Structure 1
Amino acid sequence: MSLFKGQGDLDLTEGGIVKPLLYLSLPIVVTNLMQTAYNLADTFWLGQYSTEALAAISFAFPMVFLLISLGMGLSVAGSVLVAQHTGADEPKQAEYAASQTVSWAVLASMLLGALGYPFVRPFMDLLGASPDVLPGATAYMQVVALGLPFMFGFFVFISLMRGAGDTITPMLVMFGTVVINVILDPFLINGWTLLADAPLVGTVAFPELGIEGAAYATVFSRSLAMLVGVAIMLSGSRGIQIHLADLRPDVSYLKKMLAIGVPASIEGTGRALSVNLLLVVVGAFSTPVVAAFGIGTRVFSVIFLPAIAVARGVETMTGQNVGAGKPDRAQQANYVAAKGLFVVLFSVGVLIYLFPEPIVAAFTNDAAVVDEGTTFLRYVALSFGFIGIMRAFSGGFRGAGKTMIAAAISIATLGGIRLPIAVVLAETALEQNGIWIAFAVSNVAGAVIAWLWFRRGTWRDGGVRGASGQEADDHETPPASDGSAAGSD
């Protein structure tokens, strides 16, 4: 059996649930873990560099998330369309959807980067970055804004391959680029001067760039990942294939993608904005509190990898089974994922609750930051299991094309519950502990909301394929469509 399974090797619409879900999810866990390694490497080396640099990246990461979230809707739309066409055994439509996704995603990310660049410093200032943190955060984000098309391009590659049922290829591509990033980080952040051979003594191999160096390392590494990903899709040797003739932007097809993708962008943007607004609240406290917040959110990004990965697996299984006309099987996959994730993440949360200090201390030797980060983790850890429930059902909504429901759950949880509670409690005697409490409360509430909404069953009519199911005659012709979109409830 081939190591690389695509739609021809792995049938997500027949047989058991657990095995294909794990097959999809485990490589995504590894891929996301390696993707998170970019952030963790930056956090680690910048934490050794200075506390100000660590605080600066705490402000920069949410803006990175915001820019990517604004454009992520297209990748979600592409993944959903590829999955549903694949489930319906419509390869030509799936390939056309993938090709159009690549074209429009590149154009959108170029536009976002160009528009975002001049507003980086005012945005960081608006978030409350202090004078000693603002220059570093601005320098980091300006480099990222210019490299956004390359960074976003690889996310699109991952989404399209996942929609086709191949999660292993992106994992292997990611591995090589993570290694490059981890190697470059310390040299570009701290600089490196040659000392060995007499003729080269004092020669600067890498200048000391500080936080800006971390940005260069990340953009360069992800650029390589994008180029490799595009080459793989053009060859058609793994997962999904794109065609040069189909890359010409099709405005009529963009409308179909936006019907699915705009709510997904709203979901991602809502998450990013809530984090940015939360930073305004956190920024009112001392630099150690801001740094602890940055470390805590980076730790969460690792702990929640199983939830994010399984949610992506559920998204693909739901999409392919809805496309194949098997909503009951899709529902079963959602419940299996939600139960499994709750058990796994709650268990991890118990361990974090018992031993938080060594985790925080791995990123910094500042005693004040370690103390505050330890408190942050203890307040939130026991709510980790509920994140798994919310993520699983949200993945099901997206796979069914009901991206507006997933967006509504995210916005209600983060913007309607977490942020207001944090704002109110931060003004009481609880101070920053009120912010940590808001995380725990919103995690539990989000799980309850997602579960109750999924039980309504309104996602079952979420097919976004063409009603006729007719295949396109050639790659230049868009897949047949009735013009409907199931992006809302």
Structure 2
Amino acid sequence: MGIRSRIDALFKGPEEFDLTSGGIGKPLFYLSMPIVVTNLFQTAYNLADTFWLGQYSTDALAAISFAFPMVFLLISLGMGISVAGSVLVAQYTGAGKSREAEYAASQTMTFAAVASLALGAVGYRFVGEFLGIMGASTSVLPLASGYMEIISLGLVFMFGFAVFVALMRGYGDTVTPMLVMFGSVVLNVALDPFLIFGWGPFPALGIEGAAIATVFSRALALAVGLAVMFRGTRGVRIRLADMTPDLDYLRRLARIGFPATVEGTGRALSMNLLLFIVALFPDPVVAAYGIGTRVFSVVFLPAIAVARGVETMTGQNVGAGEPDRAERAADLAAATLFGLLSVVGLLVFLVPEPIVSAFVGADQAAADRVVAVGSRFLRIAALTFGFIGITRAYTGSFRGAGKTLTAAAISVVTLGVVRFPIAWVAAGRIGETGIWLSFAVSNVVGAAIAYAWYRRGTWRTGDLTGSGVDGAIASPESTDD
């Protein structure tokens, strides 16, 4: 059996299942599994970058640690456009309006390019100031600045690829982005040592080599993604004639996407704000916090993937006039994720020490302290992992229905009104344990808010397909390229 046949046997594309009729479990599974794999590829890329830069120098490793929050922030500022495009494509696809879906995808790609170029220019101009505020040392600042300047210049490729993934997901195709991501990650990992250390004919570029490898691999992935969408043989099609900027459509994208930008930026800022509290404690506590958040990022991959699947299923079913089916999908996802993540949380609760120890070097003087503190962090948060699944499932459904403001409000309340204040007050009274408790409390409260808000049923009014954009779209015959 060939590689392609094996992939087809494991994953199914949208042509093999219907998101708006029939069973719910299998379509949601086939939609979500490629997203899990795609996220794992992204994690593998991050680990490879960290490994090679760690071999290069300690300062380079510290520099990329400072650069990551800035990359996350820039991507978060622009993510609203991709969310809006994905929601519109999903709802139009569910409503059977393929031309409107194509127009939405084309306009999204245009404005994503404009936004990413603007954000890249801002990032390039203020990279030094941002890293200085974050506390980068004099030895690390030049390295982190050099890395971020290259990333900022190539942000259009990184963000463009993320938009391609979002638009294809809105259509219901998560397999094609997975395959393109795989090729991009393999290329990135292969290029890293050549450009960092100067293997073969390449000069030794250090941390800037890692940045070039990232930008180049994402640029090639975007080129492949654009070729796929222009051809229109897989997923949603984009047309050159539909890419002329439509300011009325921009306002529509902004209305849907701005709350998603607030949500993503809020998550990025909340992690950075918590760092200010954590930084008041000794280095072992800071290290334990870093290890704990890395563990969470891996544990919650299924929740993020299923939430994206629920977003697409909700969008297509709301567009098809099947809100009851969308609700059943969200409920199934919430129950499944609660059970799965609760089991994982129980395992983490029982044996946190080996997990933390895997991230601690044997020669580190404070290793025992880091393991003790990190294990306490994981134990306190682990038994609430299941509630994260509930929150993710219902906020994903809100986004799919176009209620991005609701999803953003839940995120802001959970992180800004519950987690941060509890961490700030409790840390002053009971030490670092107060920070760990803020995670557990906010996880439970966030799930309760998401569930209660979803049961109000206001998301059912989120059909975006009857807005009269048809007049702005030329007939298919006039736009064939």
Partner of 1:455: 455
Q: Is the counterpart of residue 209 in structure 1 residue 210 in structure 2?
A: no
Structure 1 residues 132 and 420 mapped into 2: Cα distance closer, same or farther (>3 Å)?
farther
* Superposed counterparts of 1:4-19, under 5 Å: 8-19=15-26
Aligned residue number for residue 276 of structure 2: 280
Whether the aligned pair in 2 keeps the contact of 1:82 and 1:164 (CA below 8 Å) is yes
C-alpha displacement of 1:428: 3.5
Alignment partners' CA distance in 2, 1:136 and 1:285:
26
Tell me the CA shift for residue 51 of structure 1: 5.2
Match of 1:395 in 2: 396
Residue 155 (str. 1) matches residue 162 (str. 2): yes
- Matched residue, 1:63: 70
Q: Structure 2 CA distance, aligned partners of 1:384 and 1:138?
A: 36
Q: SS at 1:428's partner residue?
A: helix
The answer to whether the aligner puts 1:309 opposite 2:305 as a matched pair is yes
Structure 1 gaps of 5+ residues are 195-203, 479-489
The amino acid across from 2:437 in the alignment is I
Shift of 1:55: 4.2
Distance 1:393 1:240, change over 3 A: same
Contact 2:388 2:443 (8 Å CA) reproduced: yes
Farther-moved stretch of structure 1 (82-91 vs 275-284): 275-284
Structure 1 counterpart of 2:442, one-letter code: S
Q: Is the counterpart of residue 416 in structure 1 residue 412 in structure 2?
A: no
Please give the per-residue CA displacement for 1:206-230, whole angstroms capped at 9, x wherever unaligned: 41514x4433332222222111111
Cα distance between partner residues in 1 of 2:282 and 2:137: 10
Displacement after TM superposition at 1:385 (Å): 1.2
Matches of 1:160 and 1:73, distance apart in 2: 13
Which residue number corresponds to residue 114 of structure 1?
A: 121
Match of 2:235 among 235, 239, 251: 239
Structure 2: any 5+ residue segments left out of the alignment? none
Q: Any conservation in 2 of the 1:100–1:246 contact (CA below 8 Å)?
A: yes
Residues 267-307 of structure 1: per-residue CA shift (max 9 Å, x gap): 11111111122222233344554444334323322211100
**Measured at CA, do residues 373 and 441 of structure 1 come closer, stay the same or move farther in structure 2, by a change above 3 Å?**
same
Alignment of 1:409-488 (within 5 A): 409-430=410-431, 432-467=432-467, 472-474=473-475
User: After superposition, what is the alpha-carbon deviation per residue over 1:121-148, rounded to whole angstroms, capped at 9, x for unaligned?
Assistant: 2222223344454444333322222221
Aligned-residue CA RMSD (Å): 2.6
1:33 maps to which of 40, 54, 68:
40
1:349 deviation in Å?
Answer: 1.8
- Give 2:76's aligned amino acid: S
Distance 1:206 1:304, change over 3 A: farther
Question: 1 CA distance for matches of 2:59 and 2:284?
Answer: 9
Cα distance change on mapping 1:382 and 1:373 into 2, 3 Å: same
Query: Cα gap change, 1:125/1:138 in structure 2, threshold over 3 Å: closer, same or farther?
Result: same
Deviations 1:354-411 (A, max 9, x none): 3334444444515336525444333322221111110000000000000000000111
SS of alignment partner, residue 235 of structure 2: coil
Per the TM alignment, residue 186 of structure 1 is displaced from its structure 2 partner at its CA by: 3.8
Contact conserved, 1:311 with 1:395, CA < 8 A, in 2? Answer: yes
Change (3 A) 1:59 1:412: farther
Tell me the matched-pair count. 466
Write the letter of the residue equivalent to 1:400. Answer: A
Query: Structure 1: how far apart are the matches of 2:217 and 2:68?
Result: 17
Aligned residue runs from structure 1 range 10-409, under 5 A = 10-49=17-56, 52-189=59-196, 191-192=197-198, 205-207=202-204, 209-210=206-207, 212-365=208-361, 367=364, 368=366, 371=371, 372-409=373-410
Contact 1:58 1:294 (8 Å CA) reproduced = no
Identical-residue share of aligned pairs (%)? 64
The 10-residue stretch of structure 1 (68-77 or 354-363) with the greater mean CA deviation from structure 2: 354-363
- The alpha-carbon distance between structure 1 residues 344 and 238, as it changes in their structure 2 partners (threshold 3 A), is same
Q: Is the 8 A contact 1:113 1:149 kept in 2?
A: yes
Instruction: Assess if the C-alpha contact under 8 Å between 1:421 and 1:434 holds in 2.
Output: yes
Secondary structure at the residue paired with 2:262? Answer: helix
The amino acid of 1:425's aligned partner reads: A
CA distance in 2: counterparts of 1:285 and 1:176, whole angstroms: 42
Paired residue secondary structure (2:384)? helix
SS of residue in 1 equivalent to 2:233: coil
The CA distance in 2 between the partners of 1:39 and 1:162, in whole Å, is 23
